Amino acid sequence: MTELPEKNVPFVNPRAAHDFRGRTCSIVSVGSYVPERRLSNAELEKLVDTSDEWITTRTGIKERRLAADDQFTSDLAAEAAKKALTNYKNTGISVIELSHRSGPIMQLFDAASNRLRRLMKIPENYEILWLQGGASLQFTMVPQNLLPDDSGADFIETGLWSTKAITECNKIGHANIIASSKDSNFSYIPVDFKQNYDAVYTHITSNNTIYGTQYKVFPEIRNTDSFLVADMSSDILSRYVDVSKFGVIYAGAQKNMGPAGVTVVIIRKNLIGKGYRDLPAMLDYDVHARKKSMFNTPPVFSLYVVNETLKWIDKLGGVEAIEKINARKAKKLYVEIDRNSIFRSPVQSKDRSMMNIPFVFNNADMDESAFLEFCQKRGLVTLKGHRSVGGFRASLYNAMPEKGIDLLVSAMQDYEKMDFKH
């Protein structure tokens, strides 16, 4: 922190001489941002039966600021992030520089947790942990914390990420693959399986980013002593989920919640602190729960962006509203894929994802790179499908504007009209 001068001593800018020794931070700038587009009460008078006096006396509002047509959520978030980087909550310093145990940061964590609990309707008997390491770290933390020695868990294998979770579990206990769609390159969600009576939990991946499948109905756990664990990294907050049906939900933030660097773990409290093995503190749910996710310095800035994202979802009408938007976006693209004579979906229709939509050419001889170049010229990028599936993939995460799907549909229609006979 920059030292303040004594009284009656002229202030000297500590950076004026470009001598940064012994100085860890200083205020570089302070700024604010609102969208440029204005909507005044006078303009509203022309649109609806109202008046400036009526609005002002009841709300105190004289004008509103509206995002421009070409201004996306990411643009607003970027401006908000810039503000946080310079002067968070009028503290005079950056959200990155504040101590994670300071009042403003503790309030930030509480706000994010409370907002997530409300948006997802998380029961009070569940703990919300904000951790690091992504979902990949949870592949090992889940069995380390929840599996007693010489015990096992059931897995439904629906793609690469569930396969990775299986591999990590086998290092700690026994991973029983009770169902798999590997036989068809993970083009469906298997529903025929028999759970092991002694399985501690059953693990699923709710949405499969590479293959474009998604659970519509979650498996029922027959054994009352067992519970369901779900990796929801790629579809958390995209639709309503009954949290009470799960023992653990975990998710990396980078798809629908915020930037990479923060992971949320929603865990039923009676599953914490079993003490099955002597774990390193960083891998122990009990440690993180007792320390309120403050055992080590958390990803503060990532959490700040998560909280801003949760605010945005809230303003849209919550998860239920987001789900309707996502369903509408996905339907538009699937209708076009099924209609278009040169494209098809490799996914069984009953299991199609709202988040990730792969599609391929009907004619395997057609040049995929040509279509990708065609789309790029229209501002449509990152459509190349995963190497294990090929073709193309559109990811329709929460922040993807519907206009983007409309542009892709239009591109597919125009490409269909081209002559590929010669």
Q: Which residues of 209-218 are buried (b: 16+ CB within 10 A; e: fewer)?
A: bbbbbbbeee
For the question of residue 161 being annotated catalytic, the response is yes
Determine contact, residues 95/43, Cβ cutoff 8 Å: no
| Parallel, antiparallel or unpaired: strands 263-268 and 126-131 | antiparallel
Q: Which of 130, 255, 284, 351 is catalytic?
A: 255
Contact criterion met (CB below 8 Å) for 117 and 165: no
| Catalytic annotation present for 311 | no
- Rounded Cα distance, 128 and 251, in Å: 12
Report the amino acid identity of residue 235.
Answer: D
CB pairs under 8 A, 24+ apart, for 85-91?
A: 86/27, 86/28, 86/29, 86/30, 86/31, 87/27, 87/30, 87/31, 88/304
Given the residues 130, 154, 231, 351, the one annotated as active site: 231
Catalytic residue among 161, 284, 329, 351: 161
Active site residue 231: yes
Pull the structure tokens for residue 5: 């001068």
| Torsion on CA atoms 162, 166, 169, 173, rounded to nearest 10 | 140
CB 38 within 8 A of CB 63: yes
For residue 252, which phi and psi values (nearest 5 degrees)? -70, 145
Mind telling me the catalytic residues? 161, 231, 255
